[in-house]
Homo-oligomer: A and B are copies of this chain.
């Protein structure tokens, strides 16, 4: 920290993204990327747009929102597009939470929520998940606070049904309820269906997972036009051109090729089932997942030991040091070939450890 850094942020602890080691080629199962490349139309659209980069992008994201409207079945002014769903979440925290509307989220969830709260000086409360890592819906009923729930949750993969989401939204009519659906396309039912019914529901999503575009940085918010306008007030006060021309074209093209991505999601769900079964057979406890990852622990192998041993063998998974989950690892679901290697390497490690 330089001597010039503001006191306001001096206690800030930044988010730590999943490691991207450059020392050798890994099977990367640590950041929930898709194992599939973007669709043909995306690649074509990006290449075509490359000759027009001297011109600013459209700050209204007109084409992108038009395609969103077609896929999600709501009018264009119910969408806001951002530079990754991290930006959408940060803007939503800025717009809808403050001293009078503190934030509430589970103790085990996406690690960026407390960071966004800290940098924006928003008071927040973490509600412990139940013993089995599920959310107790009753904890969130009539709270009178700004609620943020990732559904499915990260890093557990646990999903709560839409009826529970609706109870939470309905019982907090004076506060915005933010549902972070980064992983909704792998078997969950989206809360977007409830958006027309509740003026306090704000749903966020991303192109990073189900649409194979982690490297494009495209996220979005879906809500009634009044909430969307609030996010745009923040957006036009920080970075109106946050979506560049290439991202915009890539996103629009992907939305026109939903079948490809839907098929990929089905494949990942199938591979997830296979991997879950294989891990159970190897003595793991596996949290039932509706996401593109599994959260698992083995009572005979320390979580960090397994993470390091897998890394040594060229397979990267994500390990968290937080006390409550440090015996677990989060494993991204990749291709069947990748999953087979993962399972083989775990078998090797078990043999080496004699467990």
Q: A14-B237, A230-B2 are in contact. Are A55 and B33 (CB under 8 A)?
A: yes
Given A17-B240, A95-B5, A237-B15, the answer on whether A215 and B101 have CB atoms closer than 8 Å is: no
Do the beta carbons of A98 and B6 come within 8 Å of each other?
yes
Query: Are B217 and A241 in contact, with the CB atoms below 8 A?
Result: yes
A55 to chain B: which residues have CB within 8 Å?
A: 28, 33, 214-215
Q: What copy number does this chain have within its complex?
A: 2
> A325 on the interface (CB 8 Å rule)?
no
Find A246's partner among B118, B216, B230 (CB 8 Å cutoff).
Answer: B216
Q: Chain A, interface size: which category?
A: 35 or more
- Asked if residues A6 and B217 are in contact (CB atoms below 8 Å), the reply is no
Cα distance A239–B84 when bound, in Å? 8
Partner of A233, one of B14, B50, B83, B241: B14
CA distance A28 to B6 in the complex (A): 40
Asked whether any CB of chain B lies closer than 8 Å to the CB of A153, the reply is no
The 3 closest A-B pairs by CB, nearest first: A14-B236, A215-B245, A2-B226
| Chain A residues engaging chain B, CB cutoff 8 angstroms | 1-9, 12, 14-18, 20, 22, 28, 31, 33-38, 42-43, 46-47, 49-60, 62, 83-84, 86-87, 90, 94-98, 100-101, 115-116, 118-119, 175-176, 199-200, 208, 212-217, 224, 226-227, 229-230, 232-247, 250
